[in-house]
Structure 1
Amino acid sequence: MYKLTGVSKQYSRGKETVHALRSIDLVIEDGDQLVIQGPTGGGKSTLLQMIGGLDRPTSGSVELDGTDLAQLSEAKLTKVRSENIGIIFQSFNLIPTLTAQENVETALVPMGVKPAERRERAAEALRSVGLGERMHHVPTELSGGQQQRVAIARALVKKPKVLLADEPTGNLDEGTRDDIMALLDTMCQEYGLTFIMVTHDSALAAKAPRLATIRAGRVTVTEQAQSVRL
């Protein structure tokens, strides 16, 4: 479970102080599906970075299962991220010179998984997202949707507790978007993941069981139809 208490984030832009987040309180239960939406520059990606341990708040606490991520050393924070948090980005962030399987394996290196096990787990992860026959292709030999499936496999191969997604369908056409979201929903239900996604897509936001809307650094959470899934 996540518990954010009084989370604020400020940074300087020249002589100006930007308040990206302002005293946010938020609880995210295990297995929740939460979508974060808001205007450009409203703080939604900043909030996701706090939740993922990719950045630290100026003030406040970000607790994951009772551990305040903001107070951990970089080494301990890296360990928490590598073992518990999978992240998917809009731009896929695949290494262009590596095959799909090798890209997925990179997620297991920080965990100290031995090479033979890395190869086996990466291959299984790619099969689970429908890319069993494409695992030896480099990113330029894959479509955008296939590259995002590789990114999903990379996020899931370490068997995380939490899956974060920052505009995961932003570079995809509508049909591919729907395929990727259906895949993510299936994976989240199958593995019991806590899923938190930033999106500008109102159609996706409307389907979320919980919607966090951020404006001017402040968040409002709306409980939506619980029968609706992403």
Structure 2
Amino acid sequence: MYQLRGVTKQYRRGKETVDALAGVDLTIGDGDRLVIQGPTGGGKSTLLQMLGGLDRPTSGSVELDGVDLAALPEARLTKVRAESIGFVFQSFNLIPTLSAQENVETALVPLGLRAADRRERAADALESVGLGERRSHLPAELSGGQQQRVAIARALVKRPKVLLADEPTGNLDESMRDEIMELLEGLWKEHGLTFVMVTHDSAIARKAPRLATIRRGQIKVTERAHQ
């Protein structure tokens, strides 16, 4: 479970100080699906980076299962990210010279698995996102939707507790958006993940069981009936 208390993140912009997050309190339970929405520059991606241990708050605490990510030494934080948190980004972030299979395997290298185990788990992960027959393809040989499926397989292959997605459908057309959302929601249910997603897309936000709206660093959470 995540527990955020008084999370503030300040940046310098020229001579002024900007609050990307301004005293955010937030609880995200195990297995929750939370969608974060708000205007550009409102603090959405900053909040996601805090949850993923990719950035540290200026003040406040970001606890995951009782451990304050903000206070961890970098080596331990890297270990938590490698073992417990999967990331999916808008731009896919695939390595262009590696095949789909090899891209997925990269997530397992920090876990110290044997090469044979990495290969097997990566193949299974690609199968689970419908790309079992495209394992040897390079990113340039795949459509945008297929590249995002590879990125999702890479995030899930390490069997994380948490999946964080930053605009995962932002580069996709409407039909592919719906496909990817259906896949993500299916994987969320199947694996019992805690799933937090940033989106600009109101169609996605409307279907979220929990919606966090961020404006000027302040957060408001709306609970909906289970869908």
Q: Are positions 1:80 and 2:80 aligned together? A: yes
Within-5 A mapping of 1:163-174:
163-174=163-174
2:192 is aligned to 192
Q: For 2:14 and 2:225, locate their aligned partners in 1 and report how far apart those are by CA, in whole Å.
A: 44
Q: For 1:153 and 1:169, locate their aligned partners in 2 and report how far apart those are by CA, in whole Å.
A: 15
Q: Are positions 1:128 and 2:163 aligned together? A: no
Deviation at 1:14, TM superposition (A): 1.4
Within-5 A mapping of 1:13-92:
13-92=13-92
Q: For 2:10 and 2:112, locate their aligned partners in 1 and report how far apart those are by CA, in whole Å.
A: 35
Structure 2 residue runs without a partner (length 5+): none
Q: For 2:169 and 2:6, locate their aligned partners in 1 and report how far apart those are by CA, in whole Å.
A: 30
- Aligned partner of 2:160: which letter? P
1:215 is aligned to 215
1:99 is aligned to 99
Secondary structure class of the residue paired with 2:132: coil
TM superposition score normalised by structure 1: 0.98
Q: How many residues align?
A: 227
Write the deviation string for residues 45-79 of structure 1: whole angstroms up to 9, x where unpaired. Answer: 00000001000000000000000000001100000
Deviation at 1:224, TM superposition (A): 1.4
Q: Higher mean Cα deviation, 26-35 or 107-116? A: 107-116
Deviation at 1:113, TM superposition (A): 1.2
Moved over 6 A (4+): none
Q: For 2:115 and 2:12, locate their aligned partners in 1 and report how far apart those are by CA, in whole Å.
A: 43
TM superposition score normalised by structure 2: 0.99
Q: For 2:158 and 2:197, locate their aligned partners in 1 and report how far apart those are by CA, in whole Å.
A: 19
2:175 is aligned to 175
- Aligned partner of 2:207: which letter? K
1:143 is aligned to 143
- Aligned partner of 2:115: which letter? P
Secondary structure class of the residue paired with 1:204: helix
1:160 is aligned to 160
Q: For 1:113 and 1:51, locate their aligned partners in 2 and report how far apart those are by CA, in whole Å.
A: 26
Deviation at 1:114, TM superposition (A): 1.3
Deviation at 1:18, TM superposition (A): 0.9
Within-5 A mapping of 1:195-206:
195-206=195-206
Secondary structure class of the residue paired with 2:94: coil
Q: Percent identity?
A: 77
Deviation at 1:225, TM superposition (A): 2.5
Q: For 2:66 and 2:6, locate their aligned partners in 1 and report how far apart those are by CA, in whole Å.
A: 15
Q: For 1:101 and 1:14, locate their aligned partners in 2 and report how far apart those are by CA, in whole Å.
A: 44
Secondary structure class of the residue paired with 1:106: helix
Question: RMSD of the alignment, in Å?
Answer: 0.5
Structure 1 residue runs without a partner (length 5+): none
Write the deviation string for residues 178-211 of structure 1: whole angstroms up to 9, x where unpaired. Answer: 0000000110100000000000000000000000
Deviation at 1:13, TM superposition (A): 1.2
Secondary structure class of the residue paired with 2:204: helix
Q: For 2:24 and 2:113, locate their aligned partners in 1 and report how far apart those are by CA, in whole Å.
A: 37
Q: For 2:79 and 2:111, locate their aligned partners in 1 and report how far apart those are by CA, in whole Å.
A: 8
Q: For 1:132 and 1:215, locate their aligned partners in 2 and report how far apart those are by CA, in whole Å.
A: 41
